[in-house]
Structure 1
Amino acid sequence: MSIKTGFKPKSASVVYYVSDIARTQTFYSQTLGLDLTRMEGAEPFWLQGRLEGGLEIIFFEMDGVRGNTPALIFTVEEGGIDDIVAALAEQGVTIVTPVSEAPGGWSADFLDPDGFGLGLWQSGELPRSLK
């Protein structure tokens, strides 16, 4: 357990914002041979794949700005995303996007000391706060 936030990352996903989801699907599945699953719940659909080593790669069709994509997203596996974000803010971490709805759950975005985008994602089945 992390001393300052109560959160210790155990899994993560790399998220890319792409301009053409169909073109991305063709490239990553046909050119690179990555098995991608079409996921519904965001417009348009998004793509999700997992490498043999366990890293998850996710593609959303939306405007990406150099510096905010790809983003490393840590999965909150035990609930309490609100508590974690509050603890990060108390430590002076820049919160870019507060906890908000995301496909299948909740997410929040913040910056590391060099300005790189990081995020949290938590399943909607888990409690947002453990307090």
Structure 2
Amino acid sequence: MNPQDKNGKLDYIEFNVSDIARTCKFYASAFGWSFKDYGPSYCEFTDGRFTGGFSVGGAVTPGGPLVVLYADNLAQAQERVEKAGGRIVRPVFDFPGGRRFHFADPDGYELAVWSDQ
């Protein structure tokens, strides 16, 4: 996909899990997913079409994965989120692959926006 085609689109999803190895074993066995390890607290998965991650960094909330959108310009995306009534719940931070921030929408749903720029 052309990078401009990704702007503002769903791009990634993260699940907080209690045991990355157990979770990877389950999804590999059940669905044939493959994985890329980023250390003891994070693992990326792919189902062959869509990519996401498993993290042990937060509370396990069944039914509550983190939806991640992509932005060409992270600062502009944050400005638009705030102007639209969103609340920043985790300021911009670096992670393997880029930078991102988390926000709550008006109903309190937490999402994230990332950029590789």
TM-score by shorter chain over 0.5: yes
- Aligned residues, how many? 112
Match status 1:57 vs 2:55: no
Match of 2:96 among 88, 98, 103: 103
What SS does the corresponding residue of 2:31 show, helix, strand or coil?
Answer: coil
1:33 is matched with which residue? Answer: 31
Please list every run of 5 or more consecutive structure 2 residues that lacks an aligned counterpart in the other structure.
1-5
- Please tell me whether the aligned partners of residues 93 and 111 of structure 1 are also in contact (alpha carbons under 8 angstroms): yes
Query: Alpha-carbon deviation of 1:116?
Result: 1.1
CA distance in 1, matches of 2:89, 2:10: 21
**TM-score, reference length from structure 2:** 0.79
Tell me, what secondary structure is at the counterpart of 1:88? helix
Task: Name the CA shift for 1:103/1:61 in 2 (closer, same or farther; >3 Å).
Answer: same
Query: Letter of the aligned partner of 1:25 in structure 2?
Result: C
Q: Which runs of 5+ in 1 are unaligned?
A: 1-6, 127-131
- Identity over the aligned pairs, expressed in percent? 26
Structure number with higher helix proportion:
2
Residue 67 of structure 1: how far off its partner (Å):
7.9
Q: Which residue identity lines up with residue 27 of structure 1 in the other structure? A: F
2:3 matched residue in structure 1 = none
Provide the aligned C-alpha RMSD in A.
2.4
What TM-score comes out, normalization by structure 1 length? 0.72
Tell me how far 1:82 sits from its aligned partner.
1.2
